[in-house]
Each structure stands twice: as C-alpha cells, then as structure tokens.
Amino acid sequence: MTDHPPTTAIPEEGKAGPRKDGLLGYQVIHSYLRSLDNSPGVYRMLGEQGEVLYVGKARNLVKRVSSYAKQTGHTARIGRMISATASMMFLTTRTETEALLLEQNLIKQLKPKYNVLLRDDKSFPNIVVTKAHDFPMIKKHRGRRSEAGSYFGPFASAGSVNRTLNQLQKIFLLRNCSDSMFSTRTRPCLQYQIARCSGPCVGHISKQDYATAVSDAESFLKGKTTAIQNKLAAEMSQASDAMEFERAAGLRDRIRALTEVQSTQGVNPRIVSEADVIALHMAGGQACVQVFFIRAHQNWGNRAYFPHTGTGAEAAEILEAFVAQFYSTKLPPKQVLLSHEIENDDLMQELLSGKLD
C-alpha cells in the first residue's frame, strides 16, 4: 500500500483542511480529480472539523470519486454525505482486494457516520475434545484454539453448545471434569450415577474402549450420524440376544438421545455440508442480519445482528460490509450463502478464499 498525498478542497499538498467558503460539497470533491489516477485504493470523506464521514474503496479511484462530483443523481443519503464533505484523503493499494480489506479495517477503526458498521463482533463458542490426556474430556471452548484437541464449531450461542454437549454426554459418556478432579477421584461421581459418564476415573472403562467412544463422538460431530446410530443399534441387538437387558436399555437410551440431538439440530441436505447462511431483512430504516451455522450437515444455531446502516444504505452495501467485517476476525466456512447480491462479489470471494489458504 502507498499513501496518496492528502489535499484540501483547493489542492494543497500535505494538508486536509476545512472547506473553503462558497464551495459546495460536490465542488470540493471535483477539485481532487486532477490529482487522482485509475489506481485501486481507499478514500475518506472528511467534515468541516476533520471528522471522518465515510470510508470507501475503489477499483479505480478517479472513476469512483468522479461519481460523487456531480450535482444531481444521488440518493438522499449520498447527497447528505456529499454536502457535508469538506475535504478528502486517499490511500492507493496494489490490488482491489487490498482496497476492500483496508476499507473494512478503517471502518471498524474510525466508525464513520455514513458507513455500515457491525456493532456486535463477539467470538463464537466451540466444542473441543482434548488430546493431552489418556482419557480425553469434551467441553465448551471460546477464544483462541491454544489447547491441543479437536475443535468443532462455531455454534451460534453458549446455549446451543450446552444443549449439544448435554446430549453428547448421554450418547458417548465422555467425561467433562477437569484433569485435577479426574486424578483425585476414588469413587464415581454423580455424572456416572445418572449415566452421563462411563467412569474412566475409577477404571469402569478401559482406555481402548474409551478411545473408541471418543472416536465415535468426533465422527458424530463430523456428520457421520447414520454410522454411529447403526453401530449402537447393532450393539443393543447383541446385548438383548445375550440377555444383557440392563446394557441393552442403556444403549436404547443412547440411541434416543442421538435421535433427539439430530432433530434439535436439524439435519440438512447432503449437498450442504459446511456453510454460513446469511440473510438480510430491512424495514423502517433498520436492518437485521441472521447468520445460520451449518456444519457437518447440521444446523448449529443462528444469531441475529443489527448493524448500523450508515443512515440509509442499500441492501447490497449493507450485506457486503457485514460479510467483510464479520469474517475479519473469523475463519470462513467452505460456503457462504447470501440472501442478496453484493456489490463486489468477485473481490469478496477472493478475500475469503485467501483466509482459507
């Protein structure tokens, strides 16, 4: 990236001062055109006090800025922004994708009045199966993935994770106690008594059988639910034939729990294994964006967002800004499905694909 020298309404290299008396906003913008070229980059519109009104990107700076230098033909929102513009600043970039990335970083940093801004950017919880112990535990995790283990997510909320963990413990009987608690147990805890744990802390299950349960739980979280269900059904049939009725009843309860978690999550068509479904609805000048998390052919919940709409942005701009800011700190899935078209679909695909490389 390279800096383009900022200038005033009557260009003066090195400064970005207030609007000169008598000049209208579109005239201020027009005065910059002779100092621009067709490079990609980012521009900032500044108010009388130097406050940032708007940050935008451009595939071609001179072409994009010239679209604001007209007296008519703008939406009410853009017209107000142009009227308030006292000066501008520019940054050129090597590529158009760099311009998109820089634009969204500046928007998050500067929070301009006329830009779309994602106001809630919290991290999402995951499920982790730890790997640093002979008898791994399964638990909820949020934040950096610094602990050794297999991570599954994101889930939309702590509630959706807790519901899934509750069912997984019924099905696979994996421990959720800390390593220190595990090492000091001398008799089974309540989780074992209510059939939520297989009791590895006191030797009620072998290391090999426990490892098989861990592998089955990971297979389930990867979407291989049919194979797990068939396996449990076969074990139940064998236990019943051997007249091990208590064991058969336990396996029956685990199959029921598996069916319950499948119905709660909602199994999706096989053609959608991993995706975020992002849907926008606008009403009364407000915008709501719902994000649905599809992982391993299952719906792992959804979350609603209410972005600041930049005093009246259109759907394409709102959704593009939301997607760029949403994934600025998150790893995107293999697919992102949108309810509306966005302005720079090709650039967004390149930006998100680059995060997966």
The per-residue DSSP string of 134-187 comes to SS--EEEE-S---SSEEEE---SSHHHHHHHHHHHHHHH----S-HHHHHH-SS
Q: What whole-number distance in Å separates Cα of residue 355 and Cα of residue 342?
A: 19
Q: pLDDT tens digit string along 288-339? A: 999 999 888 888 888 999 999 888 888 999 999 999 999 988 889 989 999 9
In the predicted model, is pLDDT for residue 266 greater than 60?
Answer: no
% the chain with pLDDT above 90 = 45
Mean pLDDT (the chain, rounded): 85
Residues 293, 279 contacting (CB under 8 angstroms): no
Q: Which residue has the higher pLDDT, 103 or 145?
A: 103
In the predicted model, is pLDDT for residue 352 greater than 50?
Answer: yes
Q: pLDDT value at position 239?
A: 82
Residues 145, 152 contacting (CB under 8 angstroms): no
In the predicted model, is pLDDT for residue 357 greater than 80?
Answer: no
Judged by DSSP in three states, 82 sits in helix
Residues 305, 322 contacting (CB under 8 angstroms): yes
Helices 207-221/158-172 angle, 10° precision: 140
In the predicted model, is pLDDT for residue 85 greater than 90?
Answer: yes
% the chain with pLDDT above 70 = 90
In the predicted model, is pLDDT for residue 109 greater than 70?
Answer: yes
Q: pLDDT tens digit string along 162-193? A: 888 888 888 888 998 988 899 898 888 888 88
Q: What whole-number distance in Å separates Cα of residue 319 and Cα of residue 307?
A: 10
Judged by DSSP in three states, 41 sits in strand
Query: CB neighbours of 51 closer than 8 A, spacing ≥ 6?
Result: 113
Q: pLDDT value at position 147?
A: 87
Query: CB neighbours of 105 closer than 8 A, spacing ≥ 6?
Result: 328
- Helix or strand run (H / E) with residue 192: helix 190-193
Q: DSSP letter at 43? A: E
Confidence bin at 262 (pLDDT 50/70/90) = low
In the predicted model, is pLDDT for residue 238 greater than 50?
Answer: yes
Q: With b meaning 16 or more CB within 10 Å and e meaning fewer, what string describes 158-183? A: eebbebbbebbbbbbbbbbbeeeebe
Confidence bin at 156 (pLDDT 50/70/90) = confident
Q: pLDDT value at position 72?
A: 85
Q: pLDDT value at position 16?
A: 37
Could you tell me the two tokens for 169? 């413990």
Total length of the chain:
357
Give the strand pairing for 52-58 and 41-46.
antiparallel
Selection from 174, 197, 61, 70 nearest residue 127 by Cα: 174
Q: What whole-number distance in Å separates Cα of residue 61 and Cα of residue 52?
A: 18
Confidence bin at 341 (pLDDT 50/70/90) = very high
Confidence bin at 268 (pLDDT 50/70/90) = low
Q: pLDDT tens digit string along 42-69? A: 999 999 999 999 999 999 999 999 999 9
In the predicted model, is pLDDT for residue 13 greater than 60?
Answer: no
In the predicted model, is pLDDT for residue 124 greater than 50?
Answer: yes
Query: What's phi and psi for 95, nearest 5 deg?
Result: -135, 165
Q: Which domains does the chain have, with CATH numbers?
A: 2-114 (3.40.1440.10), 126-265 (no CATH), 274-356 (3.10.20)
Query: What's phi and psi for 249, nearest 5 deg?
Result: -65, -40
Q: pLDDT value at position 261?
A: 66
SS (H, E, C) 288-321: EEEEEEEECCEEEEEEEECCEECCCCCHHHHHHH
Q: DSSP letter at 267? A: B
Judged by DSSP in three states, 80 sits in helix
Query: CB neighbours of 8 closer than 8 A, spacing ≥ 6?
Result: 15, 16, 17, 20, 87
